[in-house]
Amino acid sequence: MELFRQIVNIVSAYTIPVLFFAIVAYAMFKRIRLYESFIQGGKEGWEIFLKILPYIIAILVAIGVFRASGALEFLAAQLAPLTDLVGMPAEVLPVALMKPLSGSGSLGLAAEIIQHAPDSFEARVASTMFGATDTTFYIIALYFGSVGIRKIRHAMLAGLCADLAGILAAVWVCHAVFPNN
C-alpha cells in the first residue's frame, strides 16, 4: 500500500502541469492560435451562460428548498445503516446525497466536515467523493433543459450509476490510501 500511496502522490503532483504543457505543445504542433481560440471560447461560454441562466436559478431554488426543509438530513439518517456496510463514515452521506444535485451545495457540506476535522478520515472521504462524483441532476436539468430534451430516463440512470460508482470508489481508495483510519 505504501507504493500505491507514493504513486498517487506523484500522479497528483504532476497531472495538471503535464496536461497544461501537453495542450500548449499540441496547439503549437497543429499551429492553432491558442490565445484567440481561448478568447473565442470565452465569448461562446458567455452566450451559453445567458441561455442556461433560468435553469440554473430553478435548480438552485429547488436545492435550497431541499436543504432548508430538513429532507437532506432525514434521508441521510434513513440511509445511515447502509454506510456501515460499505465502510463509509455516516458523516459524509449528506455530501454523497447532495453532490448529484449541486456542486456548490455538496462543497459546502464537505467544507463543514473539513473545517471540523481537516485531517480526519471523514474529511478525506468527503474530499475524494467530491472529486469522484458529478452533479447529475444539475447537468440533466441544465443542459438537457436548455436544448429541449425531455426523455432523460437512460441518461439519469447512467449518471446515477456513475455517481454510485464514484462514491464507492472514493470510499475504497480512502481505505487503501489511509489504512489507519
Most confident listed range (63-72, 90-99, 120-129): 120-129
| Other C-beta atoms lying within 10 Å of the C-beta of residue 175 | 17
Q: List the grid coordinates of 40.
A: 473565442
Q: Could you give the number of structural domains in the chain?
A: 1
Q: List the grid coordinates of 137.
A: 441532476
pLDDT in tens, 139-175: 888 788 778 788 888 999 999 999 999 999 999 999 9
Q: Residue 53 in contact with residue 145, Cβ under 8 Å?
A: no
Name the residue range of residue 88's domain: 51-177
Is there a domain that residue 24 lies in? Answer: no
Is there a domain that residue 22 lies in? Answer: no
Is there a domain that residue 36 lies in? Answer: no
pLDDT in tens, 7-65: 988 998 999 999 999 999 999 999 999 889 989 989 988 887 888 788 778 777 877 78
Query: Would you place residue 66 in the very low, low, confident or very high pLDDT band (cuts 50, 70, 90)?
Result: confident
Is there a domain that residue 171 lies in? Answer: yes
The predicted pLDDT at position 181 comes to 64
Is there a domain that residue 147 lies in? Answer: yes
The predicted model scores a pTM of: 0.66
Is there a domain that residue 90 lies in? Answer: yes
The predicted pLDDT at position 101 comes to 83
